[in-house]
Amino acid sequence: MVKNCDKCAQLNRTDDQFCIRCGNLLTSESSLIESFSSGVLELGRLSDRYSILKTIKSGGMGKVFMGIDKNLSKICAIKELLERFTIDQKEQENPVEMFEREAKLLASLNHPNLPRVYDYFIVKDKYYLVMDYIVGEDLLTIMDENNKDGFPEEEVVEWALQLCDVLSHLHNRQPPIIYRDLKPGNIMLKKVDNTLILIDFGIAKPTLDKKSSSLVDYITPGYSSPEQCAGKECDARSDI
């Protein structure tokens, strides 16, 4: 059995609690929160507008939560940024101003292979970005769980074309944005249409920002470029 989302008309299963395309709640907020209250997951309110349902991902740059946007009645992804702003405080840049500048930069991006960032806020010295929730799996998980022998060449070529398109979009902005963390774990495959979404802009930087262009502490062995591993300045070639 299926049911239509009343916001985007996407067909969803009758037991789906939110739309797989737009994140619209298909059930009541209270029943959704109850379904995540298993004792394993820690629920919490970040503000009058946002509540956390569960932790999606945790890493060196912070955490990503599944949350509820009460104003829009939809599921969202909430990224908590920590370490980066501690580092930049030592460089004596106002961390609040830096965060607001970069949040607005990300919110200005508009591309089908990027999540939409539509809000940001600060709570108790922690910095949060709010973006569209992507229903799907990252390529690393898909590789580990479902595919021991690799993927069909035609599928990989299509993925590469999508990634080249979104990197071109970033690199051709003024100033260019260098993503600097391209790896399977940061590439989501959307369940609804198998589109790739480039996620986790934790260390993406405009090239005009020279002070923290290397961030050598956040390299990924096997994926980071040689110049990034060496702590040197990155440019668009580093992503490619």
Residues acting as catalytic residues? 181
Rg (CA), the chain: 19
Chain mean position to CA 85:
18
Ramachandran sector of residue 92 (left: φ over 0; alpha: ψ -120 to 50; beta: rest): left
Name the DSSP class of 231.
T
Q: How far is CA 17 from CA 95, 106, 107, 142, 182, in A?
A: 37, 28, 27, 23, 31
Is-contact 37 45, C-beta < 8 A? no
